[in-house]
Amino acid sequence: MPKSGNFWDKHAEKYAKHPIKDMQSYNQTMDRTKAHLSTDDSVLEIGCGTGSTALLLAGSVEQITAYDTSAKMIDIANAKAKDQQALNVAFAKGTLFDDTLGEKSFNVVMAFNLLHLLEDMPSAIRRVNALLKPDGLFISKTVCMAGQSWVWPIVLPIMQFLRLAPFVRFLTTDELEGSITNEGFEIIETGDYPASPPSRFIVAKKT
């Protein structure tokens, strides 16, 4: 369990109630994601949170497996799936590295608002590559905070010390894209939704 695991359990209910801050950027992200999905795709979403995105995309694919390390997030996601009678979405507590996930078994792996929270991002991206079928897609969106403000680098460590914030990496968009291409991907689409601070949407194809 990553050190931030308890943080997300504690904040799951608040996270679920919180409306999406920037609906326009969310809709752009979903529209561009859907453009790469097809109804025979088997999809993995990692860091699915309370499941809204997986449930929204379920109609565009054959099946979605959605994992999160927080049991509380998964409880909320399962309740929503039951309400919506979503039959092709399977939520479970877990990480990318679980043995239950077979290598070369997904057409698409998605990670929204997750990569900057991972303590070992390169290993995670390497594992995404291994889980994808040949030519599979890794679709992600990641906030890139490096150089954006002098406030966060000072405030965040204090919040982390007080356990009010999880582990967060301050990435540049170049660093993020380099980490993805280094692990055997070709980037085929990017966008910033929103532009500031850049929340970089990346579609990368397994090479």
Ligand X SMILES: C[S@@+](CC[C@H](N)C(=O)[O-])C[C@H]1O[C@@H](n2cnc3c(N)ncnc32)[C@H](O)[C@@H]1O
Q: Does 201 bind ligand X (CB under 6 A)?
A: no
Q: Does 138 bind ligand X (CB under 6 A)?
A: no
46 counts as binding ligand X under rule CB under 6 A: yes
48 lies in the site for ligand X, by CB under 6 A: yes
Q: Which of 69, 129, 140, 199 binds ligand X (CB under 6 A)?
A: 69
Query: Quick check: 160 binds ligand X (CB under 6 A)?
Result: no
Does 51 bind ligand X (CB under 6 A)? Our answer is no
Query: Which CB sits closer to ligand X, 73 or 144?
Result: 73
In whole angstroms, the minimum distance from the beta carbon of 88 to ligand X comes to 19
d(CA 2, CA 117): 10
Q: Which residues bind ligand X (CB under 6 A)?
A: 2, 4, 8, 46-49, 67-70, 73, 95, 112-114, 117-118
